[in-house]
Amino acid sequence: MAHTHMLNIVIFGPPGSGKGTQSEKLLDKFQLKHISTGDLLRAERAAETELGKQANAFICKGELVPDDVVIGMVRNFMVNHSDSKGFIFDGFPRTVNQAIALDSMLDESKTTITCVLGLEVGENELVSRLLLRGLSSSRIDDQDENTIRTRFKEYQNKTLPLQDFYQIQGKYCSIQGTGDLSTIFHSLCACVDKARK
Ligand code: UDP
Ligand code: MG
């Protein structure tokens, strides 16, 4: 019962929509722990773990890493940060199975998702943002337009159905993800405040 007041935010949107950038701002404001499954997978790869090597094959192709791998990683993170005021889930869940698993993990901690913040950005803008990021980062999945297109297809087919999943629960909040960073941030905060009441 101790955790019913937790604040748990899912930041949702296609690759390049600004989830990571806005998560940093939200973490700071609400004192939450950041769970970016993409970052966790890249850390596993850098550490050359077995999990990292297996995941890398999917990441390089722009495909989703299997559900059980990602769910296990999130479970570990949550267990290791069980004293947190809440979490921001960034890039997770990406499939309906992952969303169901997340609900049950939160339920075990007697808490739930507070709200899902969906960043809306058009595909052409996303491609140019990702290619730009690819120029300055070491992310090979951002450097090839075919890989980027595969990531969008994966998003359309496997991740987008989550919009309905959360809309039905009254948890989905849609936010325009283009324009001024601080304007977007204020829209996100307004959704969070509304959902907390
Ligand atoms: N990935 C995945 N499951 C996750 C997170 C990441 O399969 O929960 C893989 C997937 O191949 C994805 C890549 O890691 O294309 C990069 O994910 P990240 O979330 O960092 O990128 P973004 O979509 O935010 O640009
Ligand atoms: Mg990201």
Q: Render pLDDT for 70-114 as a digit per residue (tens, 0 to 9).
A: 999 999 999 999 999 999 999 999 999 999 999 999 999 999 999
Q: What pLDDT does 163 receive?
A: 98
- CATH for 25: 3.40.50.300
> Does 12 reside within a domain?
yes
The two three-digit tokens of residue 62, written as one number: 């722009």
Pocket of ligand 1, candidates 51, 151, 152, 155: which has the most ligand atoms within 8 Å of its Cβ, to mutate? 151
Task: Return d(Cα 25, Cα 33) in angstroms, integer.
Answer: 12
For residues 154-161, give the mean pLDDT. 98
**Total tally of structural domains belonging to the chain:** 1
- pLDDT score of 2 more than 90: no
> Does 69 reside within a domain?
no
- pLDDT score of 1 more than 80: no
Coil/strand/helix, residue 175: strand
Q: Is the CB of 70 under 6 A from ligand 1?
A: yes
Number of the ligand 1 atom closest to the C-alpha atom of 59: 11
Residue nearest to atom 13 of ligand 1 (CA): 59
Task: Return d(Cα 4, Cα 81) in angstroms, integer.
Answer: 16
Q: Structural domain of residue 130, as residue ranges?
A: 7-34+86-192
Other residues' Cβ atoms within 10 Å of the Cβ of residue 129: 18
> Does 68 reside within a domain?
no
> Does 106 reside within a domain?
yes
Q: How far is CA 124 from the centre of its chain?
A: 21
For residues 135-159, give the mean pLDDT. 95
Coil/strand/helix, residue 118: strand
Residue written as tokens 């050359």?
Answer: 48
> Does 147 reside within a domain?
yes
Cα separation of the two ends of the chain? 19
* Angle between helix 50-61 and 67-80 (nearest 10): 130
55 with 3: CB under 8 angstroms? no
For residues 129-147, give the mean pLDDT. 94
- pLDDT score of 166 more than 80: yes
How far is residue 25 from each of residues 48, 87, 132, 189, 197, measured CA to CA in Å?
A: 30, 13, 21, 10, 21
Number of the ligand 1 atom closest to the C-alpha atom of 40: 5
Candidates 112, 124, 102, 114; CA nearest to 14 is 124
Measured in residues, the chain has a length of: 197
> Does 179 reside within a domain?
yes
